[in-house]
A and B are shown apart, each in its own frame.
Chain A
Amino acid sequence: SQTIHQWPATLVQPVGSPLSLECTVEGTSNPNLYWYRQAAGRGLQLLFYSVGIGQISSEVPQNLSASRPQDRQFILSSKKLLLSDSGFYLCAWSFKGSSGNTIYFGEGSWLTVV
């Protein structure tokens, strides 16, 4: 079976500091990978998705970047955090294939920028 892990689970960072959230998927190969952000009491906003190593698509302009150095590894980064970057970040994966595939989420990482 497939599993997804992301870390750290919680993070408190000062404004202007860098960020690195990591995510790995086990039990499958060549998955689609995603980073979502969820602000408090709100829905899920897609930040980045990747269909393969080194292939990153950004959905919204922002202070964040993503990288996929290995097939099942997805990293969310920032060089200088802003207060507005605070939120709940979710890594997710899906199979490739026919139209419409379920996206499976990790447990999330709480980021508080102070």
Chain B
Amino acid sequence: GESVGLHLPTLSVQEGDNSIINCAYSNSASDYFIWYKQESGKGPQFIIDIRSNMDKRQGQRVTVLLNKTVKHLSLQIAATQPGDSAVYFCAENSGGSNYKLTFGKGTLLTVNP
């Protein structure tokens, strides 16, 4: 079936380094993608989104890259800070329905001081 998955379940980086979290998706009809950050015991927070007609979008310290050729999504965090430690989820809207997202399993990012 269609799925959204993550290459790395855990990622450990030093404070100040850049972080890259990857996500693979299998549904070529997906046209909208979101990255969420979930801190322990809290609900997921929206970070950044991208539509399929774009290949890059930048926010504050974050960049999302979309490679539709290989169905790959990545989240880049610049100058990673301890407050960035969390689980990061990618999610896709698989077209056809504008109200359901499919979520990946998540990547745990740990930032070491």
A residues contacting B by CB (< 8 A) are: 32, 34, 42-44, 46, 49, 51, 90, 92, 94, 96-108, 110
Contact = CB atoms under 8 A, between A and B. Distances in A.
Nearest to A45: B103
B15 interface: no
B93 interface: yes
Contacts of B101: 46, 103
Interface of B: 31-32, 34, 36, 41-46, 49, 51, 89, 91, 93, 95, 98-101, 103-106
Contact of B99 (A32, A42, A108): A32
Contacts of B51: 100
B102 to A, nearest CB: 8
20 contacts: A32-B99, A42-B105, A43-B89, A44-B44, A49-B99, A49-B100, A51-B99, A90-B43, A96-B99, A98-B98, A99-B32, A100-B32, A100-B98, A101-B93, A101-B99, A102-B34, A107-B43, A108-B42, A108-B43, A110-B41
Contact of B43 (A51, A96, A106): A106
